Amino acid sequence: MNSGLIIRDAHFPGRAPIDAYGNGGFRFAEMSHRGSILCLPSGIHGWDPTDASALGEDDFRAVIDQAADIDILLVGTGTEMRLLPAPLRARLREAGIHADPMSTGSAVRTYNVLLAEDRLVAAALIAVD
């Protein structure tokens, strides 16, 4: 029996360039998403973080789970670049992932270039207004 509307985490199954960012979200693959996103080998997923200063290992569980298919992780930290906490950097390194924090705009542009080069890139992008 159908109990009504089922709400799922946002997910696009595949890799796609980011066409636009801003106004609190992103456009990709002729779709839009309000909020932050994770661009992983398994697809583009909605992501909860809104503030780079509060990022922790739990926020990157899906990234770590797909570490075998990721060489570099671009972390868009909002309007300004913020360093990732040392324990998080160490955990990502332990998983074999090089994390490169930068502003979200820079991360989007770099992600698109590396994706076009068919590199093993992932991105964790905090939405900006």
Residue 115 lies in a domain: yes
At 11 the pLDDT is 83
Query: Which residue range is the domain that position 41 belongs to?
Result: 11-125
For residue 89, what is the domain's CATH number? Answer: 3.40.1230.10
Mean pLDDT of the chain: 93
Residue 60 lies in a domain: yes
Confidence of residue 90 (pLDDT cuts 50, 70, 90): very high
Averaged over 72-86, what is the pLDDT?
97
Query: What is the DSSP code string of 43-84?
Result: EEEEE----GGG--GGGGHHHHHTGGG-SEEEEE-SSS--PP
pLDDT in tens, 7-49: 456 689 989 999 999 999 999 999 999 999 999 999 999 999 9
CA distances from 85 to 1, 41, 53 (A): 47, 24, 8
Confidence of residue 1 (pLDDT cuts 50, 70, 90): very low
Per-residue pLDDT at 56 exceeds 60: yes
Residue 31 lies in a domain: yes
Residue 104 lies in a domain: yes
Number of structural domains (the chain) is 1
